[in-house]
Amino acid sequence: MKSISISIFALNMFFISMANAQSKNVSGFSHVESVASDGKFIYAADIGKELNPTAKDGDGKILKLDLNGKILDSTFVKEKLNAPKGIATKNGVLYAADIDRIVAIDLKTGKKLYEISFGNDASFLNDIAIVNKTTLYVTVTDKSKIYKVDLNTRSYTELITDKIIAGANGLFYDSKSNRLYVNGFGSENKPNGTFGYINLVDNKFTRLTDLEGYYDGIWLLNGTLYISNWVAFEKKGIIQILDLTTSQIGEVKVAAPFSGPADFIILKNQLIVPEMMSGSIQFIKLK
């Protein structure tokens, strides 16, 4: 197993606790990778029985839950899926990144509306960030790339940045600043991923800290950036916090580490964190 770089351990003494949380664990998944919500329900993407994010084995699925975490429909999406990862909702549509395609799904029926194929340009589509009704961004983790997708023409172009973001993974679009926050899982199976933002005016990437890790999910709320970090391929994961005003770094304090914390969301003052390796979702109330 890989451990996180020494630089993070050295900085641990400066970490501050910004949230002491009460949590609830919801099981019933195989390898849940991402969650999303339309405000009425929660949707969870499960890559399937095997922890193989690129296998076209047809056993992936998207489940529908109520806002308390109760599973309402374990086969909500009727389309055959392989290994769905990043999901996001907009205007009654759920978008799912499934290896080499994005599948658009009707939230009323769970049926496929259309799909956008990436062919040989992707074999590990990961997180999705929706900008508006015509545009979204998606990471390609194995190629350390980000694609901009036009939902009208159902086409895509690469977002060329001045720096490579190794293992580009989590995405979050902030409309106020026109920034695309992004993190990376790293390269060569090493916890050397970084996080920061892309200014979509000039496509320059700004790294926000020297910290490194196996970064996965990312979320911005009230000037605070939340980032999930696996730390290692075992139950050692954490949710880190960066105050964008003060640059203080903290950590969400929970009773036990996470087992592969992936693409989470914050909804009604709750962190909803899928644990990919344990097949469960943590609901964590923030103070």
Domain locations in the chain as residue ranges: 6-285
Residue 21 is predicted with a pLDDT of: 52
CA atoms within 13 A on the CB side of 37: 18
Cα–Cα distance between 2 and 189 in angstroms, integer? 8
CATH topology of domain 6-285: Neuraminidase (2.120.10)
Dihedral sign from CA coordinates of 188, 192, 167, 83? positive
Q: Could you give the residue ranges of the DSSP H alpha helices within the chain?
A: 6-11
Cα–Cα distance between 127 and 105 in angstroms, integer? 16
Residue 142 is predicted with a pLDDT of: 96
Q: How many percent of the chain have pLDDT more than 90?
A: 91
Residue 7 is predicted with a pLDDT of: 36
Q: What is the pLDDT of residues 129-144, one digit of tens each?
A: 999 999 999 999 999 9
Longest dimension (CA), the chain: 50
Residue 23 is predicted with a pLDDT of: 82
Contacts of 248 (CB under 8 A, 6+ apart): 16, 242
Are residues 239 and 170 in contact, defined by beta-carbon separation less than 8 angstroms? Answer: no
CA angle 176, 142, 250 (to 5 degrees): 50
User: Would you give per-residue pLDDT tens digits along the chain (287 residues)?
Assistant: 333 333 333 333 334 444 445 689 999 999 999 999 999 999 999 999 998 999 999 999 999 999 999 999 999 999 999 999 999 999 999 999 999 999 999 999 999 999 999 999 999 999 999 999 999 999 999 999 999 999 999 999 999 999 999 999 999 999 999 999 999 999 999 999 999 999 999 999 999 999 999 999 999 999 999 999 999 999 999 999 999 999 999 999 999 999 999 999 999 999 999 999 999 999 999 97
